[in-house]
Structure 1
Amino acid sequence: MTAHGDGARSVDVTVAYNVPTRMRDGAVLRADVYRPAAGGPYPVLLARLPYGKSVPMTASMLDPLGLARDGFIVVIQDTRGRFASEGDWEPWTYEEADGYDTVRWAAALADSNGRVGMIGASYFGNTQWMAALAKPPELKAIAPQITWSDPDDGLFSRGGAIELGINLPWSLAQGVDTLMRRHGDDPTALGPALGALIEDLDQVTSFGYGELPAGRHPAFQRHGIREIGFERSRQDPDWSAACRVAGRQAEVELPSLNIGGWYDIFNQGTLDNYVESRAAGRPATLIMGPWTHANFTGQIGDVNFGAAASADLIGFRGRSIDLQSAWFRQWLTPDSAPSGPDLPPVLLFVMGANQWREEQQWPLARAVDTDLFLRADGGLAFDAPQADEGSDTYVYDPDDPVPTTGGALLMSSEFRSGPLDQAAVEERSDVLVYTTEPLTEDMEVTGRVRALVHAATDAPTTDWVVRLCDVAPEGISLNVVDGIVRANTTPGEFTEHAVDLWSTSYVFRAGHRLRVQITSSNFPRWDRNLNTGAPLDSGTGYRPAHQEIAHDAARPSRISIPIVRP
């Protein structure tokens, strides 16, 4: 097939569909290959994904025709066991070896200059890291977007709690292709099997999220499908190395362009991958917008951050895909003339100020970690308590958990991500709220936010959830960052718990107030702690827990925020 130019880039493009390549174990994977019609040589951009190489989402995110018109051979491959590719679908397991084999094949394509870059987001951000760890000699640069570093910090789990919000609908959705392959020769079996799966997918919020045991979810057993990896990783801890980047960034001796969003479910993973790559002396670049995992516009949740916030403008530097094209050119065709604006080491969107800002490092050396202390009567202050201010109590009932309301999440469509009005959450009796006085001047918080909570419970295990919010003068409270920790406890004993709220760049405006919420659930984003101590893969019973949060001189519960002075 030949595709013609759009006027701005009047280069004809040819497309070859389902081009086969054989992996080392004999499995044949298939890719669509887009190339300029004129002879090369051209550098190659490779994307490997499980979602279907021909679906509109893929074309929208990668713009293979546009990249081919820019002078790249673009290869989009179905990963093993997905759509047109052979083999058994098992998330993550084969991506390192298959990535290596595919890079070597792609580099040898006709008209290739022998240099390969990898591109893509989320799952196919991770396939880049895994291929890079395998070290195919032709791979020269990667541009992973919105992807994780440690799968137990945002993909499988967070703070010990299951990332149920993504785990269940993602796994069910991937099961559609699994069932079509399994029953492809038997329509009488395919119809009922697909119908039952789609029913479960449609009822994720009304039914599926609440099924127990959460750690061995009945839906996966009903349909005989693979799950995202939480259950597998608990049965075989070493297996999760198949998608773990954490601790291995220094092994990747390549430049990387890391793109993430402040309200993305893999926010911290993007930052961690950048930080560790730079620490190892690699030429890494970071772009962080206000985006979620699936929304790259300027309207995120309840907030309009402005048109310049979108990935189509990035502060009028150009489209994200065009910035990536120019960035790849410097590494894949190093003798060519620059084709786009130079990127700084770090490009941040500072929310609240709603501006893009260039930086030379992350985290910012000028950010000062500063404690805000929980105080009596719902206060929050920079001054530590000097006396016994007592404690606050609530009852956490797993049968009535705090509903997920915004945040850095990826869930079924009923749950919006980003900053949302927290009024309904903060009215609940099982949510403690602590608020500062109105600010007299703007306050920028850029960096990692952490909390230390002195807490007690009458349960053998429970969860602590901490959320930082921005309260406008009219009283609207919007979530900024949050985190969870699952704790095994001695009932009745106060213990200090560290909660990682991940990172942000946010200006709290003069007249606004900072607010901290403390509770014990955020469901169904994270699975409910049943408060019984029963194993996750078998526990189905639950009990209420009586919770107590201290804020006195001996037990100063607090949140640490990195403040950047003008």
Structure 2
Amino acid sequence: MAEIQVEFDVPAEMRDGTVLRADVYRPGGAGPWPVLLSRLPYGKQMALAIALLDPLAAARRRFMVVLQDTRGRFASEGEWEPWTYEESDGYDTVRWAAALSGANGSVGMIGASYFGNTQWMAALSKPPELKAIAPMVTWSEPDDGLWTRGGAIELGITAPWSLMMGADALMRRHSTDPATLVSSLGGLVQDLDGLADGGYGELPAGRFPAFVRHDLPELGYERSRREPEWARSCRVAGRHDEVDLPTFQVGGWYDIFTQGTLDNFTAMRRAGRSATLIMGPWSHTNQQHVIGDVNFGFGANSAFMGMRGPLHGLQLDWFQRTIGDGEALEPDTGRVLLFVMGVNQWREETEWPLSRAVDTDFHLRADGRLTQEPPAVAEQAEEFTYDPMDPVPTTGGALLMSDEFRPGPLDQRDVEAREDVLVFTTEPLTEDIEVTGRVKAVLFAATDGPSTDWVARLCDVDEHGVSRNVTDGIVRVRATPAEPAEHVVDLWSTSIAFRAGHRIRVQVTSSNFPRWDRNLNTGEPEESASTARVARQQVFHDPARPSRIVLPVVPARQEA
């Protein structure tokens, strides 16, 4: 094969005259070739972009590759506004890429997170040349993982992301004033480095002081509250039937957008589109086989995929089937590939969610028990005190935060030793119990204030007594003081086999900080609340108020 040709900073003019720039990789030899396009705000030559869409490997497979800096970022012109222009710029860029010298007129898109969403926005704009998208670890509803979760602010990702993205903004703003640039960047780095040591705790959380200090565009929570219609600029939920394209979606059980990936897949299947899904045990930025404290086995690594070959190769195979100009591989009608933690195995399915999974109640009981049997008689309510100035610290989970906070399954001993964390545990299991699907907690609870949060966490306790988090969720509630009410906490989805000899555990508390902002228990708006009060919490478990966790249990397969 002849030498691959690379052209840097190729200009593309958008409809309003703004010029965006892209690096273009052309295969050697004669074209024309289908185009793989990625539009990202992190720098088109950054290691992550190159790793996700290895342009040389793609070019060897006879794809032209286009990596573009989004508007207002790095080599591209314009003002940086997260999300605002991605639908219109996506449309214009697809049409431009399809007309490049050597292109055959067919475009596919690939990328993760922000540049997973740029694919959805481009697809919603309907450029005729866009034939397929492969979004990874991205959301569906921004108020379910991007900006908020259960009504609580996703402070863990909002603060570092907005500050990190501010570096390029400040360099542009002060490009002609070196002294001011050095000073402003120094202050930004100081705030970024200081998040874990108190910066996350600045109030009000809904009008975060660090963003005001540096006059930076933030991830979008604050703007979406000021301009609700603007939130449509990155919302996929409710619009899937407008996307008449095949999709290849990749997510992770410890990714900050786990449920968004699954929701996008199910919505596309519901709309009758060809949709492929891969869910590994991964976090947002780690697709290897050691996540948190757990080694899931080398087969879990995206470079291996349990003898299926690298994930990137599976994606290119799929693109060959959907837009490739060479001989197609087997027909693609969409499939599901899930990694089942606990047994640490990949398993092929034809659907999500699994229709054979049975929602099974595990009841919170007196003396910290967790049983499938509901309480037959009244049991004493559990009580604890929640102090927003001493919140439960974030320890593992599906998160993306400053580097001091590791994602994935971590030892929960320090969390479970706290007096403001209730713990409910089964007896050691006599046989494996597989939980694959969406998990929820139903809590009958009361607080003595006008507002509070309820957090529930599912854990796996191994044979040595080590408890590790599996999945969790939060719900922010308005309350009538001291009046019990039913609250449903969405713990999103997982796939794990709780092994025989292990125990299933549920934590109930009122904070997970700084992953989610603290409820100050006053009922004041997040954009102005700065004074906290201590709340006295009750969780009930009696015949009339059966607090429980609902697990989608997959029956063991019967041998023929």
**Alignment match of 1:173 (pick from 164, 175, 179):** 164
Does residue 437 in structure 1 map to residue 427 in structure 2?
yes
Tell me how far apart the structure 1 counterparts of residues 469 and 3 of structure 2 sit (CA, whole Å): 47
**Alignment match of 1:29 (pick from 3, 14, 20):** 20
For residue 186 of structure 1, report the CA deviation from its aligned partner.
1.1
* Secondary structure of the corresponding residue to residue 180 of structure 1: helix
Aligned residues of 1:11 and 1:69 also touching (Cα < 8 A)? no
Mapping of 1:519-530 within 5 angstroms?
519-530=509-520
Letter in 2 for 1:293: H
Identify the residue that residue 350 of structure 1 maps to in structure 2.
Answer: 340
Tell me how far apart the structure 1 counterparts of residues 2 and 541 of structure 2 sit (CA, whole Å): 66
Give the structure-1-normalised TM-score. 0.97
Letter in 1 for 2:261: T
Aligned residues of 1:46 and 1:118 also touching (Cα < 8 A)? yes
* Secondary structure of the corresponding residue to residue 551 of structure 1: strand
Does residue 117 in structure 1 map to residue 117 in structure 2?
no
Letter in 1 for 2:31: G
For residue 477 of structure 1, report the CA deviation from its aligned partner.
0.3
Letter in 2 for 1:18: D
C-alpha RMSD over aligned residues: 1.1
For residue 383 of structure 1, report the CA deviation from its aligned partner.
0.5
- Deviations along 1:12-58, whole A, 9 cap, x unmatched? 21100000000001100000000112220100000000000012221
Aligned residues of 2:274 and 2:334 also touching (Cα < 8 A)? no
* Secondary structure of the corresponding residue to residue 361 of structure 2: strand
Identify the residue that residue 193 of structure 1 maps to in structure 2.
Answer: 184
**Alignment match of 1:546 (pick from 536, 544, 551):** 536
For residue 337 of structure 1, report the CA deviation from its aligned partner.
3.4
Identify the residue that residue 43 of structure 1 maps to in structure 2.
Answer: 34
Tell me how far apart the structure 2 counterparts of residues 76 and 39 of structure 1 sit (CA, whole Å): 21
* Secondary structure of the corresponding residue to residue 162 of structure 2: helix
* Secondary structure of the corresponding residue to residue 140 of structure 1: strand
**Alignment match of 1:213 (pick from 204, 209, 234):** 204
Does residue 228 in structure 1 map to residue 231 in structure 2?
no
Aligned residues of 1:145 and 1:258 also touching (Cα < 8 A)? yes
Identify the residue that residue 474 of structure 1 maps to in structure 2.
Answer: 464
* Secondary structure of the corresponding residue to residue 532 of structure 1: coil
**Alignment match of 1:95 (pick from 86, 102, 115):** 86
Identify the residue that residue 271 of structure 1 maps to in structure 2.
Answer: 262
Identify the residue that residue 499 of structure 1 maps to in structure 2.
Answer: 489
**Alignment match of 1:243 (pick from 234, 255, 259):** 234
**Alignment match of 1:417 (pick from 407, 423, 432):** 407
C-alpha spacing 1:65/1:564, structure 2 compared with 1 (3 Å): same
For residue 434 of structure 1, report the CA deviation from its aligned partner.
0.3
Identify the residue that residue 3 of structure 1 maps to in structure 2.
Answer: none
Mapping of 1:303-314 within 5 angstroms?
303-314=294-305
**Alignment match of 1:397 (pick from 387, 390, 407):** 387
Identify the residue that residue 498 of structure 2 maps to in structure 1.
Answer: 508
Give the structure-2-normalised TM-score. 0.98
Aligned residues of 2:396 and 2:409 also touching (Cα < 8 A)? yes
In structure 2, the gaps of 5 or more residues are: none
* Secondary structure of the corresponding residue to residue 195 of structure 1: helix
Tell me how far apart the structure 2 counterparts of residues 549 and 74 of structure 1 sit (CA, whole Å): 55
Aligned residues of 1:344 and 1:359 also touching (Cα < 8 A)? no
Aligned residues of 1:323 and 1:341 also touching (Cα < 8 A)? no
For residue 342 of structure 1, report the CA deviation from its aligned partner.
6.9
The alignment of Structure 1 onto Structure 2 pairs a total of residues equal to 556
Does residue 387 in structure 1 map to residue 380 in structure 2?
no
Mapping of 1:255-270 within 5 angstroms?
255-270=246-261
Identify the residue that residue 463 of structure 1 maps to in structure 2.
Answer: 453
**Alignment match of 1:60 (pick from 51, 76, 85):** 51
Mapping of 1:119-138 within 5 angstroms?
119-138=110-129
* Secondary structure of the corresponding residue to residue 185 of structure 2: helix
Tell me how far apart the structure 1 counterparts of residues 501 and 156 of structure 2 sit (CA, whole Å): 35
Letter in 1 for 2:148: S
Mapping of 1:11-26 within 5 angstroms?
11-26=2-17
For residue 243 of structure 1, report the CA deviation from its aligned partner.
0.3
For residue 207 of structure 1, report the CA deviation from its aligned partner.
2.2
In structure 1, the gaps of 5 or more residues are: 1-9
- Deviations along 1:250-302, whole A, 9 cap, x unmatched? 11000000000000000000000000000000000000000000111110111
- Deviations along 1:378-411, whole A, 9 cap, x unmatched? 0110011111012000000001000000000000
* Secondary structure of the corresponding residue to residue 409 of structure 1: coil
Identify the residue that residue 146 of structure 1 maps to in structure 2.
Answer: 137
Tell me how far apart the structure 2 counterparts of residues 206 and 262 of structure 1 sit (CA, whole Å): 28
For residue 59 of structure 1, report the CA deviation from its aligned partner.
1.1
For residue 341 of structure 1, report the CA deviation from its aligned partner.
10
For residue 535 of structure 1, report the CA deviation from its aligned partner.
1.2
Aligned residues of 1:301 and 1:420 also touching (Cα < 8 A)? yes
Does residue 454 in structure 1 map to residue 460 in structure 2?
no
Letter in 1 for 2:363: F
Aligned residues of 2:321 and 2:331 also touching (Cα < 8 A)? no
For residue 66 of structure 1, report the CA deviation from its aligned partner.
1.1
* Secondary structure of the corresponding residue to residue 546 of structure 2: coil
Identify the residue that residue 84 of structure 1 maps to in structure 2.
Answer: 75
Percent identical among aligned pairs is 65
Letter in 1 for 2:536: H
Tell me how far apart the structure 1 counterparts of residues 264 and 334 of structure 2 sit (CA, whole Å): 17
- Deviations along 1:192-229, whole A, 9 cap, x unmatched? 01111111111111121010000000100000100000
Tell me how far apart the structure 2 counterparts of residues 152 and 467 of structure 1 sit (CA, whole Å): 20
- Deviations along 1:444-484, whole A, 9 cap, x unmatched? 00000011100000011000000000011210001001000
* Secondary structure of the corresponding residue to residue 125 of structure 1: helix
- Deviations along 1:324-344, whole A, 9 cap, x unmatched? 111001111266232x89796
Identify the residue that residue 359 of structure 2 maps to in structure 1.
Answer: 369
Tell me how far apart the structure 1 counterparts of residues 343 and 232 of structure 2 sit (CA, whole Å): 39
Could you list the structure 1 runs, at least 4 aligned residues long, displaced by more than 2 angstroms after superposition: 340-344
- Deviations along 1:306-348, whole A, 9 cap, x unmatched? 001011011111111111111001111266232x897961000
